[in-house]
Amino acid sequence: MAHLRNIVVLTGAGISAESGIDTFRDGGGLWERHRVEDVATPEGFARDPELVQRFYDMRRAAVLTKQPNAAHHALARLEREWRGELLIVTQNVDDLHQRAGARRVLHMHGTHLNAWCTACDARHRWSGTLFDNPPCPACDTRALRPDVVWFGEMPYEMDRIHAALRDADLFVSIGTSGAVYPAAGFVQDASALGARTLELNLERSEGSHWFDETRQGPATRLVPQWVE
């Protein structure tokens, strides 16, 4: 990697799987037990807010008990030691990259650890529940929801992500199925802009054929090996 300067790393649920956090589309994943349309769309939230709040309350509480694994730690070490630019773009709403020590992390699908007030647009650090519809600490309206991006909503930080992809020499995708856009299209964007592309995943993904190189195996083995 000596000739490289700018790296963009995209992470998905697979990087946190070995920390004990469910993925979405694997066997036993979240979408086998919950209909996506019910829990991860604005329409589902409008229909049954309590169901959606309970789903996220349950996942928020679970994440607080999980720890970063060897893959999160390896990326944080790479960030500390890398002489060029390294940006981690995560689709995950957990905070395991930060708890491993990474600093330059963009949460394009939001974070479990914030509640967002749709009345006054304030965001609050949140470790408790939302199902009981608590008032917003800023405006007192009862309009808090998880600060996450559902289907049909605009992912966060897109300008910064595209700027980083423009400058990237290497794009690495870790533990994501390549089923959800716009993240699934980053490999083609990066490639068209001249970056080399590498996929690290348990198995070949929907988007594997777009990558210059793919490696298969668990993230806790592949990521430390790649970083070495």
Binding residues: 12-31, 56, 59, 91-94, 117, 120, 136, 139, 175-177, 201-203, 219
Q: Which of left, alpha, beta for 152 (phi over 0: left; psi -120 to 50: alpha)?
A: left
By CB under 6 A, name the one of 64, 139, 163, 179 that touches ligand BJW.
179
Among this protein's residues, is 73 annotated catalytic?
A: no
HSE, CB side, 13 Å, CA atoms: give it for residue 19: 27
Binding positions for NAD(+)? 12-31, 91-94, 175-177, 201-203, 219
Smallest gap from Cβ 1 to ligand BJW, in A, equals 20
Helix locations, the chain, DSSP H: 13-17, 30-33, 36-39, 42-47, 49-64, 70-81, 96-99, 158-167, 186-192, 219-227
Beta-sheet strand order (sheet of 123-125): 123-125, 110-117, 144-148
Which listed residue (66, 202, 208, 215) binds ligand BJW by CB under 6 A?
Answer: 202
| 201 near ligand BJW, rule: CB under 6 A | yes
Using CB under 6 A, count the residues that bind ligand BJW. 36
The Cα 228–Cα 223 span in angstroms is 9
Which residue, 32 or 140, has its beta carbon nearer to ligand BJW? Answer: 32
Pick the binder of ligand BJW from 6, 10, 19, 23 (CB under 6 A).
23
Per CB under 6 A, does 143 bind ligand BJW?
Answer: no
C-alpha count within 13 angstroms, C-beta hemisphere, residue 188: 8
43 backbone dihedrals φ, ψ, rounded to 5°: -70, -40
189 makes contact with ligand BJW (CB under 6 A): no
Q: Where are the alpha helices (DSSP H) in 18-152?
A: 30-33, 36-39, 42-47, 49-64, 70-81, 96-99
Single residue of 153, 188, 193, 194 touching ligand BJW by CB under 6 A: 153
Q: Does 73 bind ligand BJW (CB under 6 A)?
A: no
Catalytic site positions: 109
- Write out the residues near ligand BJW by the rule CB under 6 A: 12-14, 17-18, 23-26, 29, 40, 91, 93, 109, 148-155, 158, 175-177, 179-182, 201-203, 205, 218-219
